[in-house]
Amino acid sequence: MSTPARPDLPPAWHRDLQARLDRPPAQPRLPLHWRGQPVGSVEPAWAAALLRARPEAAALLHVDAGTAALQGHDLDTTFARLAVAMRAAGLAGRWRDELLAVRGAGGAVLGRVERAAVRPLGIATHAVHLAGLAPDGRHWLQQRSLDKATDPGRWDTLVGGMVPAADTLQAALARETWEEAGLRLEALQGLAHGGRLVQRGPAAEVAGGYVVEEVDWFRAVVPAGVSPVNQDGEVLRFELADAPALARRLQDGDCTLEAAAVLAALLACPH
């Protein structure tokens, strides 16, 4: 594969990217605990709105002046009931019937929670991205569908998605690669782990939400003559962009935040 010249993104752009990757909450948040273990955070006003709308949630979520605590002996059950109350109150994200892992401070899995509940509860999530290259060094990009809950119509890496509680990182990568691009990992060339980044910041798609997400990204070459074909309706189209065109998209703010971080890292390293 040829190695075209890589454009340098301006230092000011990189500084802005880093600032956007680590933003404070829009409003102060209370730490959220279960049995003394930190699992997330909530906005006091959001919690108050939930308890007003769904008084039964008081048996699941206790809030005082300085902290919030989940109630119950089984965390999965508590989260399941709390997510239903949040949905009924209109205080959850888009419902997905997808469970994500909830980890304690040491990284151990404590339970599982519906994806729609994670942002208002400030629960850390795990995502995986695949940056796809053509043999000539151009970059495969996807344009997100216009009905996506987050960043509709914006440009993204070839593949990206959450890691569900039931999946390993590799299994999630394989599933997302097929669902979003119609590609099998074994058909790609030079698949390798590229790096890891962390994003923190207010979640625009849901009131009172806060994103805490660790992203593992991979890189691979899509063989000549092979084109991605979306399978799940979540991609509007795919595009091949050379390095200068990709740099322009990044500087124009056309890409999602996670994709910008991944693609900037890819541009900075040899292919």
The pLDDT tens digits of the residues spanning 203-228 come to 988 999 999 999 999 999 999 999 99
Query: In the predicted model, is pLDDT for residue 1 greater than 50?
Result: no
- Residue 135 CB partners (closer than 8 Å, separation 6+): 1, 2, 221, 223, 224
> Hey, what are 198's tokens?
């962390």
Question: What's domain 11-23+125-268's superfamily in CATH?
Answer: Nucleoside Triphosphate Pyrophosphohydrolase (3.90.79.10)
- Mean pLDDT calculated for residue range 109-130: 98
pLDDT at 271: 55
H helix intervals, 22-140: 44-53, 75-88
For the residues 23-50, what does the mean pLDDT come to?
Answer: 96
Measured CA to CA in angstroms, residue 40 lies from 29, 49, 54, 162, 260 at distances of 10, 18, 21, 17, 26
Report the share of the chain in percent with pLDDT over 90. Answer: 91
pLDDT at 43: 97
- DSSP letter at 6 equals P
Triad 212, 27, 210: Cα angle to 5°: 20
pLDDT reading at 110 higher than 70: yes
Cβ count near 206 (within 10 Å): 22
The residues with which 41 forms a beta bridge, in sequence order, are 31
Residue 168 CA to its chain's centroid (Å): 16
pTM: 0.93
- What percentage of the chain carries pLDDT values higher than 70? 97
What are the sequence ranges of the domains in the chain?
11-23+125-268, 30-116
Q: Are strands 210-221 and 125-133 parallel, antiparallel or unpaired?
A: parallel
Q: What is the pLDDT of residues 55-96, one digit of tens each?
A: 999 999 999 988 999 999 899 999 999 999 999 999 999 999
Tell me: pLDDT of 2 over 50: no
- 30-116 is a CATH 3.40.50.300 domain: no
Beta strands in the chain, from DSSP E residues, in sequence order: 30-34, 37-42, 61-63, 68-70, 99-103, 109-114, 125-133, 139-144, 155-156, 159-162, 189-202, 210-221, 235-241
Residue 270 clears pLDDT 70, i.e. is over it: no
Q: Is pLDDT above 80 for 263?
A: yes
Q: Tens digits of per-residue pLDDT, 124-181?
A: 999 999 999 999 999 999 999 999 989 999 999 999 999 999 999 999 999 999 999 9
More confident position, 167 or 6: 167
- Examine domains 11-23+125-268 and 30-116 and report if their fold is the same: no
